[in-house]
Amino acid sequence: MKKKQPDLLQGTLDLLILQVLRNGGRHGYDIAKRILVVSEEVLKIGQGSLYPALHRLEAGGYVRASWGRTETGREAKIYALTAAGRKRMEAEVESWERFAGAVNHVIRHSRNAGATGKG
């Protein structure tokens, strides 16, 4: 049975993009491919989600785009993190870690409570 791809929480895609750009500029397809590979093929980002997010981040001053050549020699927009983007990424990572920790705590607590019959 094929596993269902999880829905991304609103704002999570921005965090993933900023995180991928942390170590240097990438073109859109490369950003999506990197997210897919690092997530072990769990997070597949379509163009219909990726490019609006990149444009939103660019409009907000978090990434800058410039034309350049890809590793295959074709012209593409290369997106890079700005100083404001780096600050936002760090804040978003901290917020995500706090959120994920809270969700994990509820899951563990609920499992333990279920095992003892207490809620």
pLDDT 10s digits, 57-116? 999 999 999 999 988 899 999 999 999 999 999 999 999 999 999 999 999 998 887 655
pTM value? 0.83
41 is a domain residue: yes
CA-to-CA distance for 74 and 10, rounded, in angstroms?
Answer: 32
What residues are paired with 79 via a beta bridge? 26, 65
- Decide if 15 contacts 92 (C-beta within 8 A): yes
Q: Which domain holds residue 72?
A: 12-116
64 is a domain residue: yes
1 is a domain residue: no
Total tally of structural domains belonging to the chain: 1
Q: Which CATH number belongs to the domain containing residue 36 in this structure?
A: 1.10.10.10
4 is a domain residue: no
Enter the DSSP assignment of 46: -
Task: Give residue-wise pLDDT tens across range 2-57.
Answer: 566 666 666 799 999 999 999 999 999 999 999 999 999 999 999 999 999 999 99
**Pairing mode of beta strands 63-69, 75-81:** antiparallel
